Structure 1
Amino acid sequence: MVDEDRKAGTADKVKGSIKEGVGKLTGDEDKEAEGKAQKNKGKAQDKVGQAKDKMRDKLDK
């Protein structure tokens, strides 16, 4: 079972990558920075979800 934080984190990473790419293509530094920030938020959220999954797996054994 995958934790909801992992799903949300993956979504934020994808959205952030898209925003970052659009910012680079259009020369919009603010959009690029916003995308990087969202991508980093997603990475952190994914790590939290991974930790929750590991704890859940250990408790299930």
Structure 2
Amino acid sequence: MFDDNRREFRVVRNDQEQYSIWPTGRELPAGWFEAGSRGTKAECLDQVGRSWTDMRPARLREVLSTDG
């Protein structure tokens, strides 16, 4: 399913601001929601690369920013 370059994908994100792609037409896993465009696998991965610039989960970034 993820190796099919002809399939349409969508960019998804979870509450920790972690991104992924998921095939259009398939139910999203619990905790994930659509967060961007739809398109080819390459187009969606390109958007993930532009959007997800800090790989740390949101809670970790929050803790580290307040830890002083």
TM over 0.5, shorter chain = no
1 or 2 for the larger relative contact order (CA 8 Å, sep ≥6)?
1
Shorter-chain TM-score range: 0.3 to 0.5
Q: Find the structure with the greater CA-based Rg.
A: 1
**TM-score normalized by the length of structure 1:** 0.34
What's the TM-score once normalised by structure 2's chain length? 0.32
